[in-house]
Structure 1
Amino acid sequence: MEIEEFRCVECNEKATELHRDYSNGILKITICDSCHKPVDKYIEYDPVIILIDALLCKTQAFRHILFNTKLNIHWKLCVFCLLCEAYLRWSRLHGSEQSSDPADFIRYTKEWEFYGMFGTAALELAAFCGGVLCFLWAALCGLRRRSVRLRPLLRALLLSCYGKVLLIPAVIWEHDYSPICIALIEVFVLTSNSQAIRVTLNSSRRLSLSAVCLGLLSETCVARLCRTFSWSFLDAATASD
């Protein structure tokens, strides 16, 4: 694989290879010189097992995904998660409206509200990532004089937002406990973000949680500004009519 460096999933030490390819298709997993364990045990695992360990926020699974794989779907995953977020907000907006006319659903799908909610969700995500990256840059580069690569951090943040995909089934299979499910999904996404930061920087849990909290604060401020701006726009439009 064309990747800059590998990491041991157990101790986070750098490694030059994950396995050695001998003749006749024989592979031998590389043993870490530091912890004397396989550098990456997940290269023999089924993708379903890796996904389950990632859902459990296991450090080894996150190291495998972030360091030892060439997974460059973070931008596509970001767009899909934003679509899920926009659909959730759109369904909340029109969920209380009851109509027996099937043409209303077609009319709603043609409205620009969905695209506006997509843009708002994108702004909130940008605020969250910006707040996290600014905090980590100030905390590590400014205070500890430690170099920080922002691109791997951004990739880790976007990949760790995969939990937002669960918003779609939570909306489709709507029931009385949907608000609780949505709240649990949001907590899970923030937990995954914190774990991704911790694995990428090999930092303490306190630092990653602080970064996530500051990012959440930035996202909340932007969300309130967007909500205030939309209300002001609607009031102005109503007054002009």
Structure 2
Amino acid sequence: MYGKHDSKKPIYRCIECNEESNELYRDYKHGVLKITICKSCQKPVDKYIEYDPVIILINAMLCKAQAYRHILFNAKINIHGKLCMFCLLCEAYTRWRQLPGSSNHTDPEDFIRYAKEWDFYRMFGIAALEQAAYLTGIFIVLFSAMLKPLKSGSEFALLFKALLLSSYGKLLLIPAVIWEHDYTPLCLRLITLFVLTSNTQAIRGNTYHFCF
């Protein structure tokens, strides 16, 4: 997942200052490894390469920009497509459960029948359209605030991936709806706020492009 790259073009980034780096660590053979120090900020390029994935996940949940930079630039994680689909399903289910009459059915055997109803697919379509509109709006704002244009389509894809991965908070919609209580509406609002905060921190991982 991590390591030194043979290409002359830097592909890694310092999680502290976002400067490019040719490697994350240097292998001195015989099991001796040394983390690369960033030439710009004089800090380890990526301290998370020594961390357990659980710790990295916790740091991402705490919305630390360094954790997002590690995930986006220095770790090979390609689950953003599946994660986006699952988040849309969670949001569609949440919307479907809030439809009049849907919450009155408690028989678990009815779930498959409910999932096949057109209302569920309609909610999925609405959620997908709203997500597309939301991402389009973000890109319009970001492109208008750019200090310099994107160099390639890969940088556009990186921004897109960052937004999809940082929307993982939508997975909390399912337990919030299943364990329904008087504070469910408040929980849903807090989840939305958490997703927006995560999106903001993920975008900060690309601040070298923007004026904020």
Query: TM-score category by the smaller chain?
Result: 0.7 to 0.9
Instruction: Give the equivalent residue in structure 2 for 1:67.
Output: 73
Q: Using the TM superposition, name which of 165-174 and 37-46 deviates more.
A: 165-174
TM-score (norm 2): 0.86
Question: 2:145 — aligned with what?
Answer: 139
Give the gaps of 5 or more residues in structure 2: none
Cα displacement (A) at 1:25: 2.8
8 Å contact from structure 1 (residues 20, 28) kept in 2: yes
| 2:34 counterpart SS class | strand
Which residue of structure 1 lines up, in the alignment, with residue 59 of structure 2? 53
Corresponding residue for 1:187? 193
| Cα distance in 1 between the residues matched to 2:34 and 2:101 | 55
- Distance in 2, Cα, partners of 1:14 & 1:201: 13
Offset of residue 99 of structure 1? 5.3
Query: Match of 2:192, as an amino acid?
Result: E
Contact 1:153–1:200 (Cα < 8 Å) also in 2: yes
Residue 163 of structure 1 and its aligned partner are, at CA, apart by 0.5
Cα distance in 2 for partners of 1:161, 1:102 equals 28
1:109 aligns with 2:115: yes
Amino acid of the structure 1 residue aligned with 2:193:
V
Aligned length: 202
- Identity across the alignment (%): 63
How far 1:107 moved relative to its partner?
3.9
Q: CA deviation at 1:172?
A: 1.6
8 A contact 1:133–1:150 mirrored in 2: no
* Aligned position for 1:178: 184
Q: Does 1:44 align with 2:50?
A: yes
Could you tell me which of 88, 108, 123 is aligned with 1:82? 88
Choose from 169, 173, 177 the match for 1:167.
Answer: 173
Aligned pair 1:198/2:200, yes or no?
A: no
Relative to the length of structure 1, the TM-score reads 0.76
Deviation of residue 184 (structure 1)? 0.3
The gaps in structure 1 that reach 5 residues or longer are: 208-241
Amino acid at match of 1:77: L
Offset at residue 21 of structure 1 (A): 2.1
Q: Distance in 2 between matches of 1:81 and 1:99?
A: 23
Counterpart CA distance in 2 for 1:164 and 1:100 is 23
Aligned-residue Cα RMSD (Å) equals 2.3
CA separation of 1:52/1:95 partners in 2, compared to 1, >3 Å: closer, same or farther? farther
Offset at 1:138? 2.7
Aligned-partner Cα distance in 2 for 1:65–1:102: 38
Secondary structure of 1:23's match? coil
Aligned letter for 1:172?
I
Q: Computing the radius of gyration over CA atoms, which structure comes out larger, 1 or 2?
A: 1
**Alpha carbons 1:77, 1:159 under 8 Å: kept:** yes
**What pairs up with 1:205-220 in 2 under 5 angstroms?**
207=212
In 2, Cα distance between the equivalents of 1:150 and 1:61? 20
Q: Distance in 2 between matches of 1:81 and 1:130?
A: 18
User: What's 1:25 paired with?
Assistant: 31
